Structure 1
Amino acid sequence: MPTYLPFDERRPSSQYQDMLRTIRETGVQVETKQGETALAVAGHQMRFSMAHGAPIITERSIGGFVSKAIGELCAFINGARTLDEFRAFGCDWWDAWATPAKTSSRGLADGDLGPGSYGHAFRNFTTNLDDPDDPGFDQLPHLIQKLKDLPLDRTAVMSPWIPNANHREAGVKSRNTIAPCHGWIHALVFNDKLHLIHNQRSGDTPIGVPSNMAQYTALGLMIEQLTGYEFVEYVHWIQYAHIYSNQVEFVDELIERDPLPLPTLELTEAGKRVTDIHDFRADHFALSDYHPHPAMRGIPVLT
């Protein structure tokens, strides 16, 4: 696992607060298709040294959701694209994205998110969208093998974006019910140390981004386990970082809370025995040293 400093030696983290403050103070007010205006900035980076803790936000408690977020990532890794497949991983919040109205208008079966969704792109990446027998390309095992075989190659990259599945123009609907917002991964090895860069197309910073930070930190731990490279840094880029107008009052409170040290996220003993990326599950991860500010109820979620 990462070489975490003892908890009392970790510096408090303000990276997440700094991002919220930047959007709050310099963001451009924009219209959105969700019907609520937003403050947005074009491009923001957060950088976390794993020695000072895992990027699980402490500005408000999200400890109860971390395991669910990791379970969702495990579903993506295993190719989940239907509501039933997500439920098998404990993810019961995808119904709004696979309503009969959304699926039928895109020519999809009931409960199917489509061939441009996260799971299909992660596990079965293909531009041949209409052949159910095309297995596509399973990206993560190849990324891991490339890191092991060619650590200096700089091309250990994964994308959730299948262009023709996400094509839209006037009168044309995409072939998925939601365009992937996160999951562009670049894993780099410097002197046998793993640095994971996560690029995110669009990020609802008060609600979605904290879950994504937890998910891809967990992915860094998975890659560490399967390659043997110590996971030392997590870098998170968000291209369209935003706060919806009806979230502003909550964000203002978050910004005023004192920065705190980050917690420890590690594999359990069972997790340390996993040898295939597809076999990780949420219960293979343990969160400790987590002493956040109180949870914050009622932050609006826009779908």
Structure 2
Amino acid sequence: MRYLPYAERTPDGQYRELLRRVLDEGVRVPTRQGPAALTLMQQTMRFDLANGFPLITERSLGSFWRKPIGELCAFINGATTLEELAEYGCDWWGAWATEAKTSKRGLAPGELGPGSYGGAFHSFPSLEQPEGFDQFRHLVEQIRELPGDRTHFVSPWIPQYLVRGTGKTPKATIAPCHGWVHVRVLDGRLHLHMFQRSGDLPIGVPSNMVQYAALLLMLEHLTGHEASTFYHTISDAHIYEDQADAVRVLLDREPRRLPTVGLTDVGMKIDDIHDFRGDHFDVTDYDPHPSMPGIPVSS
């Protein structure tokens, strides 16, 4: 990845402006989570990685920023239980794998289900492959072999496992919110568009920005095509009403330059996408505003 020198980068306010837009223009809707949410549809941010890695500066993510990368690595490797996620440093999924949630879906406590991210990414149901189809292995292979193709695509959605309604039992404790990935190689450079069904802007989205920009760096390393641009589209972008006061504090903070994120020396030796971990990434030039107790780094 060829970053501009830090002093030559333009401060990036896209995330802050998205918060402002949803707070000012969002439609108030009821939610299952309790508080109503202010919601806007189809919001997109575009990050030229030469101008910095999309690790937000409106508040500090401290050392937590590697954990979302570890989570994505867990999903790429097929993690579908709390025990498996813990092996990658993910300790925030407990509320989604309680006995109350799992028993309704015929799952054991601690299981997220075969319709969760790990099941879809690593073991997508396939008649031809009883063990399931590994989407990310295929993604890397296809980019290497057919870089100009328009079909470099990954989906977290297994429809038959995510049905809802009378007499229907989903096989996931939460429907995937992010992870529809389309990669294009244009003029020899990688462009990655991540579509997100649902995005909690103050808490979840900053982690998703990090995860999929890091994926772009992984693909750069594994395919030899230089990382260019990360596009992040959120179909349902929302701020819960009990987050609004904290968001207003963020809106008073001026945008800052985005930092430099790259692979460590160990990360540079990896040749299989399944071998990446969060600690294979390092950051420099990170100068965020202070963290905010009112907005935790994870949900």
Q: Hey, what's the Cα distance between the residues in 2 that align with 1:123 and 1:160?
A: 10
Q: Which of these residues, 208, 213, 218, is aligned with residue 214 of structure 2? A: 218
> Any residues of structure 2 matched to 1:47-86 within 5 Å, and which?
47-86=46-85
Alignment check: 8 A CA contact 1:31 1:37 kept: yes
- Superposed CA RMSD: 1.5
User: Is the Cα–Cα contact under 8 Å of residues 203 and 298 in structure 2 kept in the other structure?
Assistant: no
Q: What residue number does 1:258 align with?
A: 254
- The answer to whether the 8 Å contact 2:64/2:297 transfers is no
Question: Which residue does 1:288 correspond to in 2?
Answer: 284
Are the structure 2 counterparts of residues 300 and 277 from structure 1 closer, same or farther at C-alpha, using a change threshold of 3 Å? closer
5 Å-filtered alignment, 1:199-278, equals 199-278=195-274
What is aligned with 2:124?
125
Q: Decide which of 172, 177, 183 is 2:173's aligned counterpart.
A: 177
Gaps of 5+ in 1: none
Give the corresponding residue for 2:150.
154
Instruction: Give the distance between the partners of 1:283 and 1:208, measured in 2 at CA.
Output: 20
Spell out, residue by residue over 1:84-109, the C-alpha distance to the aligned partner (whole angstroms, 9 max, x if none).
10111111111111001111110012
Match of 2:192 among 196, 208, 222: 196
Cα distance change of structure 1 residues 79 and 72 upon mapping to structure 2, 3 Å threshold: same
CA deviation vs aligned residue, 1:14-44 (integer Å, no higher than 9, x gap):
1101111110111111111111101000110
C-alpha displacement at 1:110, in angstroms?
2.0
Q: Are the aligned partners of 1:127 and 1:162 in contact in 2 as well (CA < 8 Å)? A: no
CA distance, structure 2, for counterparts of residue 301 and residue 10 of structure 1: 25
State the distance in 2 between where 1:92 and 1:300 align.
14
In the TM superposition, residue 214 of structure 1 has moved relative to its aligned partner by 0.5
- Between the aligned partners of 1:302 and 1:291, the Cα distance in structure 2 is 20
Residue identity in the other structure for 1:78: N
Amino acid at match of 2:89: G
Alignment match, 1:95 = 94
Q: CA contact under 8 A between 2:4 and 2:50: conserved in structure 1?
A: yes
Q: Secondary structure at the match of 1:295?
A: coil
Q: Which runs of 5+ in 2 are unaligned?
A: none
CA deviations on 1:249-268 (whole Å, 9 max, x unpaired) are 11111111001000011001
Q: Which residue of 2 aligns with 1:138?
A: 134
Going from structure 1 to structure 2, the CA distance change for 1:4 and 1:83 (only over 3 Å counts) comes to same
The CA deviation string for residues 142-182 of structure 1, in whole angstroms up to 9 with x for no partner, is 11111111111110000000001000013533111010000
Q: Percent identity?
A: 55
Q: Aligned ranges for residues 25-64 of structure 1 at < 5 Å?
A: 25-64=24-63
TM-score, L = length of structure 2: 0.97
Q: Number of paired residues?
A: 298
Q: TM-score, normalised by structure 1?
A: 0.95
2: distance between equivalents of 1:3 and 1:302?
A: 30
Deviation at 1:65, TM superposition (A): 1.1
Aligned residue for 1:235, secondary structure, equals strand
Residue type at the aligned position of 1:34 = Q
Secondary structure of the residue that 1:247 maps to in structure 2?
Answer: helix
Amino acid at match of 1:43: Q
Q: Which amino acid aligns with 1:251?
A: V
Check 1:109–1:64 CA distance in 2 against 1; reply closer, same or farther (3 A cut). Answer: same
Structure 2: distance between partners of 1:216 and 1:54: 11
Residues 62-118 of structure 1 deviation map (CA, whole Å, 9 limit, x = unaligned): 132111111111100100001110111111111111001111110012211001100
Task: Report if aligned partners of 1:158, 1:183 keep a CA contact under 8 Å in 2.
Answer: yes
1:17 maps onto 2:13 in alignment = no
Q: 2:173 & 2:2 partners in 1: Cα distance?
A: 40
Corresponding position: 1:110 with 2:109: yes
Contact 1:34 / 1:302 at 8 angstroms: preserved in 2?
A: no
